[in-house]
Amino acid sequence: MGTRHDLYVMLHLPEDVAQVIVHLQRQLKATHPSPSKPMDPDRLHATLVPLGSYEQRIPLDVLRVAQKTGSLLDEMPFRVSFDTLQSRGPQREFGTVELAGHGSGVQPLRRLRRQLVEALRQAGWPPAWIRHSYYPHITVDYRHEPVGVRRIQPLTWEVTEVQLIDSHYGEGRHEVLARWPLQDRQPSLFD
């Protein structure tokens, strides 16, 4: 059996935001010394649209449609904010710990996701393959005891790019297949 490839569209976190999350991971380890599996800083991300799992390799026709999506995006850079650290999964078992956002902090992210879904459809992606539900979050730890729900100092950054990723499952590696910069449509007064 070969490598599984998980294809998805995501936001990669800036280095300074990733370092804040590393600090949160250390705090969690200090207050909950149970076994854990923290997400590596270079793989911290917010998934926008999962595009399926594939054995051995991602089919070329799937890649072509997914890559076409970027040219159909028309979104300006925006700020996003995550303000809650929480457990996900059964509250008596090991599960994930994630950062979540609520209200206006993640509204632009929801708008971008709707636009991505529409772009995928226009590019020829089968609508039945698109997950309807969406919950903006960043996984911090994959195997952790429950930590409840805690408000944190909002983690905010400017979103300037969307990435198409091949996650090599079990290898801890994200391969960037495409980068789609978000374009500011406002003309400069000084050009």
HSE-up of residue 150 (Cα within 13 Å, Cβ side): 12
Is 166 in contact with 58 (CB distance < 8 Å)? Answer: yes
Q: Quick check: 190 pLDDT over 70?
A: no
Walk across the sheet containing 149-159 and list its strands: 137-144, 95-100, 78-88, 149-159
Predicted confidence at residue 91, as pLDDT, reads 61
What pLDDT digit, counting tens, does each position of 111-130 carry? 999 999 999 999 999 999 89
- The DSSP H or E segment spanning 84 is strand 78-88
DSSP secondary structure letters along 112-177: HHHHHHHHHHHHT--GGGS------EEEEEEEE----EEEEEEEEEEE-EEEEEEEETTTTEEEEE
User: Reduced to 3 states, what is the DSSP secondary structure of residue 42?
Assistant: helix
Instruction: For residue range 9-57, list pLDDT tens digits in order.
Output: 999 999 999 999 999 988 888 887 777 888 889 999 999 999 999 998 9
Is pLDDT of 69 > 60? yes
Q: What is the mean pLDDT of residues 123-148?
A: 88
- Per-residue model confidence (pLDDT) at position 148: 82
pLDDT digits (tens, 9 = 90+) for 71-111: 899 899 999 999 999 888 666 667 788 999 988 999 999 99
DSSP 3-state of 43: helix
Tell me the three state secondary structure of residue 61. Answer: helix
Cα 122 to chain centroid, rounded: 22
Helix (H/G/I), strand (E/B), else coil: 1 = coil
Residue 144 clears pLDDT 70, i.e. is over it: yes
**Number of neighbours of residue 172 by Cβ within 10 angstroms:** 11
Q: How large a percentage of the chain has pLDDT more than 70?
A: 93
Domains of the chain, with CATH numbers?
Answer: 4-181 (3.90.1140.10)
